[in-house]
Chains A and B, each alone.
Chain A
Amino acid sequence: MNNNHSRRKFIKRLAALGLSIPAISTAKQLQLINNTLGAAGINDFKTLVCVFLRGGNDSFNMVIPTDPTAYAAYSQSRGTLAVSIDGIPNPNASPLLFNPVMSELQALFNDNQLAVLANAGTLEEPVTSAQISAGTAQLPQDLFSHSHQQQCWEKAAGARNPANIPAGWGGSLANELLLDHPQNISSLISIDGYNDWQTGGESLAVSSSGGVTNINHITSSQWHDMIGASAQSPNIFEATLATRMSSTSSNSEALFDETQNTAYDSYFDNTGGLGNRLKMAARLIAGRENLNQHRQIFMVSMGGWDTHAEQNAVHPALLGQLSTALNAFNQAIVAMGKNDSVTTFTASDFGRTLTINGDGTDHGWGGHHLIMGGAVGGGQVYGAIPDFSIGGNDDFPDQSGRIIPTTADAQYAAVLARWMGLSQTQLDVIFPQLVNFDTAATGSSWDDGLLFMGS
């Protein structure tokens, strides 16, 4: 509390020097303007948490097909990496069951708190293997490359060059929401480092270890030296850094108290790095009303998923951590009574090859994903379960089990963005490729079969 008190004093010192914290971005200015005008916002609170599995999760081993035909194809394609589960195959079971190392998530699924989206990935339009072979398909740029596919996903680029897209869809979502839900503090919070998903908006950087760093030791004259003149420097590096230094102080000021709230920490004991990051997210979710943050959009990453080697040793451990950490997070959110207004979902660079390279797998395309929370239509599998056979209908033409996605990343994202409050018009702006998944002839809509957040 003392620390916070001195930080407030520090802000006052800045004010006394005639230095308000400079407006950091147009988004921030917009927030302030909206707030001043007293625009009528909606009073509810909602939080969206992206858990990005960096490196490309082999999600075909996260949830396993139960249908006898599907399982036979899966098992044949995977060879020594095939997961065997007692009771599978079973034509009467849920179409997908969790890897046994993920018992917590299987329980959440059974309890309708968790849904699975089958075989989603980066797409501009629905494509078939034959169209790809014929060269007539519009494909995302640089398929199978980590950096490019992460960017394609985070920017919902479709076939566009992600390098030319300034904003991630998380950032765009925040900016759109700001129009209807004015708040004094940005919606975007990044735990432990930069991401492309939140670019285009002002992302608040928070560390899983300690939250935000208290920098009240810097004297007002030092801040004056740093911020006052340098923010106006003709040197763009000086100006940018000075501006970031100033937002450092304002973020720290705004978030400090809530990042110190340990009320829900005990749920996260022994849940590893991801658990630590989700613990910090939980602290800020617990504090969202105090922060007057009607919409929160978190990015939480977990690395290590690029399992080219030793996959039978490495991947189950990663899945186990994911299961434990997500379950802890769910328990914490339930305990704070916010389960219906917090939705957590997974993303990843890509799925992995069904075929194996010895003791691991290489870069694929489509993959399964998880959506968790009280608002989720849980206990169900959405989307289409692909053909797992090598050289089958859903295989990329090189016949290595790089499975062509049957649901687009943009469809997945748009369902979540709609839950956060965007209209179809707004969705079409952020996800221009959505229209490619409407079928005029049959009258089907891009969201058919994907109502995992209700309609």
Chain B
Amino acid sequence: MFSISAQAELVFKNDFETISQADAVRFLTQTSFGATQHDVDTVILLSYKGWIDEQMALDFDNHKIEQAVFNYNPDNYGLNAAWWDNAITGNNQLRNRVAYALSQILVVSAEGYELSNRSIEVASYYDLLRRHAFGNYRDLLIEVSRHPAMGRYLSSKYNSKAIGNIRPDENYARELLQLFTLGTHLLNPDGTVVLDAQDNPVKVYQQDQIKTFARVFTGWSLPGARYWLDNNPIHPSPVQLMFDFDSSVLSNGVDTYHDSDAKTLFTGDVLAANQSATEDLADAIDAVFAHQNIAPFISEQLIQRLVTSNPSRFYVSRIAQVFEDDGTGTKGNLSAVIKAILTDNEALFGGEYNDNFGKYKEPTLMQSQLMRLFHGIEVTSGIYSGHYDHGFLIKDARAFSQSPLRAPSVFNFYRPDHYASVALRDLGIRAPELQIYSEDVIAKILQSLEDNIQRFNTFTVDQLPWITAYPLFDFYPELERLNTEGVDALVDYLDLLLTANHLPPAVKQNMREKLGMAFTDETKKQAIRNVIKIAVFHPSFWIQY
């Protein structure tokens, strides 16, 4: 991707030089659910590192999403609404964006039958990701392994040691290794696959090891369970983690469900016999955590979710090194990893050296960006009074094939190594998000953008009380800007906030001409709608540079 000389140049570039407005927008596209002018000003004031530090120091509520779902309704709508509220209005933009990235690596989904009526548990799981977003990946893995949403989703709840003709369930063991920590093939520290003498990938584990890990994850019971296999316990609130059944007061000491035989995980990693489920879990996670794959495997995916689909091998290598050791001898320090990802010279300046830097915005992130920028108007009546009207966000997200926390399977909405076409494959350019951007989804997004933008101006603000069903962007601030600062200023503002200044000159000229022909507030409002459509239909709005 990068030539060595370009790479050397990057390393020497000073990241404390003046941050332009466009730099700040680009940075906020990587770190938030959408830039506003206020955010831009804050980033410029604080610098990148200062902004990150401030975000990492913000208070947050351990059970925020779970509580919000309670406050709505513990149903699918409540879960969706709570997620969107948090993304659009939350102050913890960086924490939430990282949690959203983690939710696409450590996947549970309310879409599957396992969690279809478990909105509270899924919300609690998302809170778990938020809580650990700047914590340690090892601690996160322990709690993910014990969370009831995961226990249900990947059937590790009530997983029993071999009894009679029944053997332990391999589901969680396999996906923990394949998707959450190591992948299937041995990796170099820069994320490339290690090849054997025949040029074949080297396997990280064999089927026998999956079976051994399956034995590790035995003996866990849903929180609140009254007996083994109690699938509908009275859940404690807030949701608690699964518990070690054999070590609990419920166990009668006769029927035990954890496999307490010795287990050989990777070569040299032996779990002694007679350990509890809790001890085996901790030791097994330590063994996985010590593996050489986890740093590049997780680092590269976090880079892909936040910054670029095709990081250089140098970039992956630098981040993997921080994952391996944050400078104090600690492995898996996510705050250090996130800070390194976002302040790496490639993240800050990669686009200046490489036309193909960056990634497609996820549909969800396009939705949230527009809501944040164009002041999605608050509904003031109905049972969800005082909040955004979520109905259209939820309906659109579904049509766009990306409802948050509702991936079609544990393999997420797209695979990190997805090549969208033979041409891109030939160039070695991955574009994971294009896996959901089929022609049909693109058409639906264009249709929805049209509808949502056009609906502004149909109503005035004082008519709002009786409008509950429609998405409404508020373009009055844009009208104000047009009236006070003029056509050029509004076009520049839209280009800046929507695309980090990537609209081609001809497109901006077209926008200026349209605005220049409007002279009354009514025609100006229509012209504003039209130029915003021109900007968001343009591919540069769909790309994070």
Check: A426 CB closer than 8 A to any chain B CB: no
Q: Which of B114, B423, B429, B436 contacts A309 (CB 8 A)?
A: B114
Once the chains bind, are B539 and A357 in contact (CB under 8 Å)? no
Q: B540: nearest residue on chain A (CB-CB)?
A: A238
Q: How far is the CB of B181 from chain A (nearest CB, A)?
A: 14
CB distance from A369 to the nearest CB of B (A): 21
Residues of chain A lying within 8 A (CB to CB) of residue B169:
308-309, 357-358, 360, 362
B184 at the interface (CB under 8 A from A): yes
Identity of the chain A residue whose Cβ is nearest the Cβ of B507 in the assembled complex: A225
Q: Are A193 and B436 in contact (CB under 8 A)?
A: yes
- Chain A residue at minimum C-beta to C-beta distance from B426: A166
Decide if B387 is an interface residue (CB 8 Å cutoff).
Answer: no
- The total number of A-B Cβ pairs within 8 Å is 187
Please tell me if A207 contacts chain B, counting CB pairs below 8 Å. Answer: yes
Compute how far the CA of A161 lies from the CA of B200 in the bound complex, rounded to whole angstroms. 8
| B174 close to A145 (CB less than 8 A) | yes
* CB interface residues, A 20-58, toward B, < 8 Å: 25, 54-55
Say whether A90 faces chain B, with CB atoms less than 8 Å apart. Answer: no
**Chain B min CB distance to A278 (Å):** 17
Is the pair B443, A248 in contact by a Cβ cutoff of 8 Å?
A: yes
Contact status B356-A241, CB under 8 Å: no
Q: Binary interface profile of B, 509-545, with partner A (CB < 8 Å = 1, else 0)?
A: 0100000000000000000000001100111101100
When chains A and B are docked, how far (Å) is the Cα of A200 from the Cα of B543? 24
Interface secondary structure of A, over-half rule: loop
Q: How far is the CB of A8 from chain B (nearest CB, A)?
A: 17
Contact of A205 among B417, B423, B440 (CB under 8 A): B440
Contact with B along A147-191 (1 / 0, CB 8 A): 110000000000001010011000000000000000000000010
CB-CB nearest in chain A for B200: A161
Give the docked Cα–Cα distance between A362 and B167 (Å).
10
- The closest CB in chain A to the CB of B199 belongs to A161
| Minimum CB–CB distance for A129 against chain B, Å | 13
Residues of chain B within 8 A (CB-CB) of A214 are 443, 447
- B442 interface neighbour in A244, A309, A357, Cβ under 8 Å: A244
Which among A114-122, A227-235, A372-380, A411-419 touches the partner chain?
A: A227-235
Across the interface, which residues of B come within 8 angstroms of A131, CB to CB?
none
Q: A143 contacts which chain B residues (CB < 8 A)?
A: 207
B123 at the interface (CB under 8 A from A): no
Chain B residues near A199 (CB-CB < 8 A): 421-422
- Our pick among B214, B408, B439, B510 for the contact of A248 (Cβ within 8 Å) is B439
Of A105-113, A216-224, A332-340, the one touching chain B = A216-224
Instruction: Tell me if A215 and B447 are in contact (CB < 8 A).
Output: yes
Contact A237 B409 (CB under 8 A): no
Q: Are B439 and A225 in contact (CB under 8 A)?
A: no
Given A212-B443, A251-B439, CB of A358 within 8 Å of CB of B207:
no
Answer whether residue A213 sits at the interface, using C-beta atoms and an 8 A cutoff. yes
- Chain B residues lying within 8 Å of A207, measured Cβ to Cβ, are 440, 444
Q: Which residue of chain B lies nearest to A356 when distances are taken between CB atoms in the complex?
A: B166
- Which residues of chain A come closer than 8 Å to B154, judged between CB atoms? 308
Question: In the bound complex, do residue B170 and residue A363 qualify as a contact, i.e. CB atoms below 8 Å apart?
Answer: yes
Contact of B422 with A241 in the complex, beta carbons under 8 Å: no
B431 to A244, Cβ gap below 8 A?
Answer: no
Question: What residues on A are CB-neighbors of B155 within 8 Å?
Answer: 308-309, 357, 360
Whether A230 and B538, one on each chain, are in contact in the complex, defined by CB atoms closer than 8 angstroms, is yes
Is the pair B166, A79 in contact by a Cβ cutoff of 8 Å?
yes
* A242 contacts B539, C-beta separation under 8 Å: yes
- Can you list 7 A-B pairs with a CB-CB distance of less than 8 A? A142-B203, A148-B184, A193-B436, A199-B422, A205-B440, A213-B446, A229-B504
List A residues at the B interface (Cβ < 8 Å).
25, 54-55, 79, 141-148, 161, 163, 166-167, 190, 193-194, 199-200, 204-207, 212-215, 217-218, 221-222, 225-226, 229-230, 233-238, 240-242, 244-245, 247-248, 251-252, 303-304, 306, 308-309, 314, 355-358, 360, 362-363, 396, 398, 400, 402
